């Protein structure tokens, strides 16, 4: 294979890798926004009625804790899965 063909192939591989990365990031953002809205609705319906006097502060802290819990749990599980498959970080 000539050097120009190798360079062209390398360029196409890098381009494809970038497209996959951007697409994955875009869909990840959409999923995160959907989860954000769902969890906010859950807090509003199920948590705020029990704390009517300080609804804003308590529900925001509960929401932040819930998001942090999910972020840590999902990141941990994905890291374990990646290490099982031999994917380097």
Give the helix ranges, DSSP H, for the chain.
Answer: 3-46, 55-84
User: Between vectors from CA 82 to CA 71 and to CA 72, what angle results, nearest 5°?
Assistant: 15
Q: Please check whether residue 36 is in contact with residue 64, taking contact to mean a CB–CB distance below 8 angstroms.
A: no
How sure is the predictor about 87, in pLDDT bands with cuts at 50, 70 and 90? low
Q: Which residue carries 């970038």 as its tokens?
A: 18
pLDDT at 25 over 70: yes
pTM: 0.57
pLDDT at 1 over 70: no
């Amino acid at each position: 294979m000539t050097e120009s063909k190798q360079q062209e192939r390398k360029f196409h591989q890098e381009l494809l890798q970038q497209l996959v990365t951007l697409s994955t990031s875009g869909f990840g953002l959409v999923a995160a926004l959907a989860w954000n809205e769902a969890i906010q609705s859950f807090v509003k319906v199920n948590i705020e009625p029990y704390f009517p006097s300080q609804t804003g502060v308590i529900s925001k802290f509960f929401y932040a804790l819930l998001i942090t819990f999910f972020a840590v749990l999902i990141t941990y599980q994905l890291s374990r899965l990646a290490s099982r498959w031999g994917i380097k970080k």
